[in-house]
């Protein structure tokens, strides 16, 4: 069985790297676009605010 003890640290390190930032931005954009599509754009401002909050939090 794999040692998962430092998996959280590795994930944080990746999220804080340039490659991780690009991956998280792409994932958040895709999720935001899907949410906009599902709601017919009715809640775009709230979805955008949620995306920004998530991006800010991930980048810490």
Q: What pLDDT is attached to residue 14? A: 79
Give domain status of residue 26, yes or no: yes
Residue 38 lies in a domain: yes
Q: Flag whether 50 is in a domain.
A: yes
- Give me the number of domains the chain comprises: 1
Is 4 within a domain? Answer: no
Q: Containing domain of residue 50, as a range?
A: 20-58
Residue 7 counted as domain residue? no
Indicate the helix (H) or strand (E) that contains 14: helix 7-15
Closest to 16 (Cα-Cα) out of 52, 3, 30, 8:
8
Q: Has residue 41 been placed in a domain? A: yes
- Could you report the per-residue pLDDT of 1-60, keeping only the tens digit for each? 566 778 878 877 777 788 888 988 999 999 999 999 999 999 999 999 999 999 888 876
Position 10 in a domain: no
pLDDT at 37: 96
Residue 46 lies in a domain: yes
Residues counted in the chain: 60
Return the pLDDT at 13.
79
Q: How far apart are CA 29 and CA 52, in angstroms?
A: 10
pTM score, whole prediction: 0.72
Phi, psi of 47 (to 5 degrees): -65, -45
């Amino acid at each position: 069985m794999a040692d998962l003890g430092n998996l959280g640290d590795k994930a944080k390190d990746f999220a804080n790297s340039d490659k991780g930032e690009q991956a998280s931005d792409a994932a958040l954009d895709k999720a935001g676009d899907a949410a906009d599509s599902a709601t017919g754009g009715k809640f775009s401002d709230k979805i955008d605010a949620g995306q920004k909050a998530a991006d800010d939090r991930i980048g810490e």
